[in-house]
Amino acid sequence: MSGTRKLHIKSYGCQMNVYDSQRMTDTMAREGFVEAAAPEDADLIVLNTCHIREKAAEKVYSELGRIRRLKEGAARAGRKVVVAVAGCVAQAEGEEIIRRAPVVDLVFGPQNYHRLPDLLARAERGAKVVDTEFAVEDKFAALAPASRAATRARGVTAFVTVQEGCDKFCTFCVVPYTRGAEVSRPVARIVAEVERLADAGVREVTLIGQNVNAYHGEGPDGAWTLARLLHRLAGIDGIARLRYATSHPRDMDAALIAAHRDLAVLMPQLHLPVQSGSDRILAVMNRRHTRSDYLDVIARLKAARPDMAFSSDFIVGSPGETEADFAATLAIVGEVGYAGAFSFKYSPRPGTPAAERDDQVDDDAKVERLARLQAEIDRHQAAFNETCVGRTLDVLFEKPGRLPGQLVGRSPYLQPVQAMAPASLIGEVVAVAITRAGSNSLFGEVARPFAHEPAPALASLES
Ligand code: SAH
Ligand code: SF4
Ligand code: F3S
């Protein structure tokens, strides 16, 4: 093969797939691959897939149809393209993917990303390769870190996986099967990664994990909790904001709640999925908490940090869900007063206990409940956004906004905020007077551009 080889990765699903795709890109950069923006230009195409709902999983196959035509075209021009399927569909379906889509050369699961250079070499020799074994070696240690240039190109916010996998086994969910058992990365490695990001200009880090608040990574003196880790990371120069996602209500311990009171850099926003407002459905889901346990956690967080804003995930039409159960879900939206939420129709997933039940809810009811729930969520989101009008919020500017001369950034509560501001403010936390609320974003005017110390690491961010 002549010239530089090119890689195109497309990510589906959750933030962890975004992070994983970046680490695969970094690892392949070490092998001489550069990123191609379009699949047409790539020698290696990786689809990093999601299996959470049927729709997400099926997307992969329509994309593979397009890629087949692309690969055939390249072959006619004498160019070989390797097609790989990674991620949670790869883990769940394995070689079935190659049977259904013979265009695929390589299938590998989330615990095998660090082996990509070797797997690719085997695929290039003409073999069909499937690797969905749960690796025993430390994947994260084997993956290459991002270069300074790659980090800068990705912007001033970054995800860092601190925990992966899940031992909770909610009855509807594939994640414990696709990601495997809960594993926490050691403290020292996370600290080193965040320091490296901060040094390259990152100002906001979101610690991610399927169950991030179950974090129990090895520290210098035994296992550390997420609260301790946050305290440590808060001291890193250049880091202006910390967030973490996704949390399970059962694992919100007192120290983590107190961290929201004690750490100014820990943002007052929390994604805390409740899934349903009905105790009966929560039990069927094996969530291992009740509605009142959940509301108690919310109350304790609000007591620790009065301006705390919450978001959630909801599933409607779970097996056995009645109108009364659904009414309890609608009611909890108002009770918590969510700033936003995602809601989904229950999708039976192969191999999960809920899919086996014979009390499935029919699709018409799911569609109707989803619409009602979304309307209720939208109403509360709009009300929350309205409460921000007239206030001055700290905004971390991230990139150019919708209109010329505008920048867009995020408020502490994760709302996008558009304001007229010079590009030199990208990477700065700036006080913005909020003048108007749209359906998804806020609009405002820069109030005090240098309310905060400019970060020295950012002086040459645009170079
Ligand atoms: N680890 C996180 C979220 C995992 S998946 C947690 O514990 O909350 C993200 C969301 O997808 C879930 O919160 C849930 O609302 C939704 N989801 C998971 N499985 C689903 C299924 N089978 N059908 C519909 N939605 C599902
Ligand atoms: Fe899935 Fe439940 Fe684990 Fe979240 S806690 S990843 S919903 S099994
Ligand atoms: Fe999807 Fe896997 Fe994330 S199923 S939501 S990509 S953990």
Q: At 435, which helix (H) or strand (E)?
A: strand 429-437
CA of 355 relative to ligand 2 center, distance in Å: 15
Residue 392, helix vs strand vs coil: strand
- pLDDT bracket for residue 449 (50, 70, 90): low
pLDDT computed for residue 240 by the predictor: 98
Whether residue 453 has pLDDT greater than 90: no
Residue 366: which of 407, 322, 401, 405 has the closest Cα? Answer: 322
Q: What are phi and psi of 14, to 5 degrees?
A: -90, 175
| Residue carrying structure tokens 């005090």 | 448
Q: Which ligand sits closest to the CA of 11? A: 3
Summarize pLDDT for 217-255 with one digit per residue, the tens.
999 999 999 999 999 999 999 999 999 999 999 999 999
pLDDT at 8 over 70: yes
The answer to whether 54 and 143 are in contact (CB under 8 A) is: no
State the alpha helices, DSSP H only, in 338-416. Answer: 353-356, 363-388
Task: Report whether pLDDT(452) > 90.
Answer: no
Tell me which fold the domain 392-462 belongs to: OB fold (Dihydrolipoamide Acetyltransferase, E2P) (2.40.50)
pLDDT recorded at residue 6: 97
pLDDT score, position 439? 83
For residue 7, give the nearest of 150, 140, 179 by alpha carbon.
Answer: 150
Please name the fold of domain 5-131: Rossmann fold (3.40.50)
> Tens digit of pLDDT for each residue in 204-221?
999 999 999 999 999 999
Residue nearest to atom 4 of ligand 1 (CA): 210
Helices (H), strands (E): how many in the chain?
A: 16, 21
CA 405 to chain centre: 29
Taking residue 127's Cβ as centre, other Cβ atoms within 10 Å add up to 12
Whether residue 381 contacts residue 407, with contact meaning beta carbons closer than 8 Å, is answered with no
Could you tell me the distance, in angstroms and rounded to a whole number, from the CA of residue 436 to the centre of ligand 2?
A: 37
Is pLDDT at 1 greater than 50 in this prediction?
Answer: no
Helix or strand holding residue 66 (H, E): helix 54-76
pTM listed for this prediction: 0.94
Tell me, rounded to whole angstroms, the distance of Cα 445 from its chain centroid: 30
Q: State which ligand 2 atom lies nearest to the alpha carbon of 210.
A: 6
Mind giving me the DSSP string for 67-91?
A: HHHHHHHHHHTT---EEEEEHHHHH
pLDDT tier, 367 (very low <50, low <70, confident <90, very high otherwise): very high
Q: Cα(215)–Cα(167) distance, rounded to whole angstroms?
A: 12
Ligand 2, residues 169, 177, 247: which to mutate, most atoms within 8 A of Cβ?
169
Site of tokens 């069927």 = 284
pLDDT tens profile 103-137? 999 999 999 999 999 999 999 999 999 999 998 78
Q: Is the CB of 86 under 6 A from ligand 3?
A: no
Tokens 């799911």 sit at which residue? 366
**By the 8 A CB rule, do 428 and 454 touch?**
yes
Residue nearest to atom 7 of ligand 3 (CA): 175
Residue pLDDT, tens place only, 25-49: 999 999 999 999 999 999 999 999 9
Residue 448 has pLDDT above 90, yes or no: no
Q: Are 190 and 229 in contact (CB under 8 A)?
A: yes
DSSP state of 101: -
How many alpha carbons fall within 13 Å on the CB side of residue 445? 3
**Any atom of ligand 3 within 6 Å of the Cβ of 111:** no
Fold of 145-266: Transcription Regulator spoIIAA (3.30.750)
Q: Domain locations in the chain? A: 5-131, 145-266, 392-462
Closest residue to atom 8 of ligand 1, CA basis: 273
For ligand 3, the distance from its centroid to the CA atom of residue 15, given in whole angstroms, is: 8
Average pLDDT, the chain: 95
Q: Is 454 helix (H, G, I), strand (E, B) or coil?
A: coil
Q: Span 323-335, mean pLDDT?
A: 98
Q: Which H or E run contains 260?
A: helix 254-262
Task: For ligand 1, atom 19, name the residue with the nearest CA.
Answer: 173
Structure tokens at 222: 């035994």
Q: Are 316 and 369 in contact (CB under 8 A)?
A: yes
Distance 171 CA to ligand 3 centre (A): 16
Query: What local confidence, expressed as pLDDT, does residue 2 receive?
Result: 47
Beta bridge partners of 437: 442
Query: Which of the listed residues 52, 159, 349 should we mutate to test ligand 3's pocket, taking the one with most ligand atoms within 8 A of CB?
Result: 52
Give the whole-angstrom CA distance, residue 354 versus residue 347.
10
178 pocket-lining for ligand 3 (C-beta < 6 Å): yes
Q: What sign results for the dihedral spanned by CA atoms 217, 223, 227, 229?
A: negative
**Ligand showing the shortest atom-to-Cα distance for residue 209:** 1
pLDDT at 456 over 70: no
Would you state the pLDDT for residue 136?
77
